[in-house]
Amino acid sequence: MERPSRSSVERSTPPLTGLPAGFRFGASTASYQIEGGVMADGRGPSVWDTFCAEPGRVRDGSSGAEACDHYHRWAEDVALMRGLGLDGYRFSIAWPRVLPAGSGEVNAAGLAFYDRLVDALLEAGVAPMATLFHWDLPQPLEDGGGWLSRATAERFAEYAAVVGEALGDRVARWVTVNEPNVVTMLGYATGVHAPGRTLMFDALPAAHHLLLGHGLAVQALRAAGAKAVGCANNHTPVVAGTDSQADRDAADLYDTLWNRLFAEPMLLGSYPAGFGDLMPGPVADDLATIAAPLDFYGVNYYNPTRVAAPGTDLTPIGQTPSGDLPFVLVELDGYDRTGFGWAVVPDGLRDMLLQLRERYGDRLPSVTITESGCAYDDPVEADGIHDDRRIAYLDGHLRAVEEAVSAGVDVDGYYTWSLLDNFEWAEGYTQRFGLVHVDYATQRRTPKDSYDWYARVIRARR
């Protein structure tokens, strides 16, 4: 029986008729954010275990040690997916759960967990999309240099071969590396995320090795018989703080570092001008590996970014280190904001998709929105969790995809972030992105109104 819903959620909305046949409606999660069980069944330590143990790193002092306890409650979560009628579920595989030391002996119990999960998803009619790396690098590899070391990319290829051999007969769609720009910029350049290094522009070798790891993993997955391999790059449309030349130059540099530095090696086989000279070699040979053709291009979108030159009078946002970078992220005025403080701009997703098509033309494969969602801390009331703002966000962004499709962009799916409220990295448990509310004290799952709304959207499409 369907749960009762508040009348505002039942309101009639125009159907999504502009999406192509076969369009996939999905939801996404990540291993460290939901699994818990960090000491269970032979899993090794990750950089996030280490990072969370350092005082002051995570806003509320928490960690992913228990998170949503998905490692033990996966069957309940698959039932929630079945209830939604999801076409697909994007999850990530914890590298330290499969290879506790990052390489060498396989942890059979850890691999068996994902084997059971994949079988359950298929039984529920939900197509699995597996991500190989969603930030939880095995700590022993970080101790050896992490993504600053070429050896980590080589170990990643070995790991991809192990997982591809075990699951490739049932997992049709694969993502190699999630958001290499975020790992580089926040993990190695500014220290906001694990492993917490503050190398600034000296972090660029991490970008190259993440991209090389992607290319080597594509090879390994294809050798294991993978049917469709893609990526998941975080993209944001970048606008200048003002019309001044200084602000336009700052915005152009940020756009290059955030968007082009990671898309162009994958899609064009080259770095933006000047950046190839800053990367560890052999760059030309590596770019040939990085640019292996993809079956789909994953886009994670949350909000646009406004950028100004240092010394601006505009209001800074985020955790940009003062005085160390030639740009400042500033407030984008005139829009509603999520609980995270991010501007809600559905048109930004449309514009981003159009920009990708304009920049890369026929080198851009079919696009999958691999993440898009919003954080709101809607109260738990006696008659449910009425997250109308999340419904409005999702509806607006799906309609932005419709507009991009009508303008000629090939988009084959939308995976909302996230199925469950979860551990939100350096923000701990202070931000809730889920269609399903999680009471972290009891692990009780409560579908929000957005869960019912998304289920109706999916049913209507069928």
What's the pLDDT tens digit per position in 322-354?
Answer: 457 899 999 999 999 999 999 999 999 999 999
Q: Which segments are annotated as binding site for substrate?
A: 33, 134, 178, 302, 417, 424-425
| Domain at 276, CATH number | 3.20.20.80
- Which strand (E) or helix (H) includes residue 154? helix 150-167
Query: Computed from CA positions of residues 369, 371, 373, 379, in that sequence, does the dihedral angle turn out positive or negative?
Result: positive
Q: Answer yes or no: is 161 within a domain.
A: yes
Report pLDDT for 2.
42
Q: Answer yes or no: is 452 within a domain.
A: yes
Q: Answer yes or no: is 443 within a domain.
A: yes
Q: Nearest 5°: CA angle at 400, between 394 and 406?
A: 140
User: Band of the pLDDT at 10, cuts 50, 70, 90?
Assistant: very low
Report pLDDT for 14.
78
Q: Answer yes or no: is 52 within a domain.
A: yes
The number of folded domains in the chain is 1
> 232 with 177: CB under 8 angstroms?
yes
Annotation marks residue 154 as catalytic: no
Q: Among candidates 4, 81, 8, which has minimal Cα distance to 420? A: 81
Helices and strands in the chain, H and E counts:
15, 13
Point out the least confidently predicted range of 136-150, 306-320, 366-380: 306-320
Q: Answer yes or no: is 198 within a domain.
A: yes
Average pLDDT, the chain: 95
- With a pLDDT cut of 90, the percent of the chain lying above it is 94
| List 142, 179, 264, 402, catalytic entry | 179
Residue 248 has pLDDT above 50, yes or no: yes
- Which strand (E) or helix (H) includes residue 233? strand 228-234
Neighbours of 395 (CB within 10 A): 18
What CA–CA distances, in Å, run from 447 to 128, 423, 437, 457? 21, 18, 6, 16
Q: Answer yes or no: is 269 within a domain.
A: yes
> Under 8 Å CB-to-CB from 186, ≥6 apart: which residues?
192, 193
Residue 240 has pLDDT above 70, yes or no: yes
260 is in which domain, residue-wise?
A: 24-237+251-303+334-461
| List 371, 381, 402, 427, catalytic entry | 371
Annotation marks residue 264 as catalytic: no
Report pLDDT for 9.
44
User: Band of the pLDDT at 1, cuts 50, 70, 90?
Assistant: very low
Q: Answer yes or no: is 9 within a domain.
A: no
Q: Answer yes or no: is 326 within a domain.
A: no
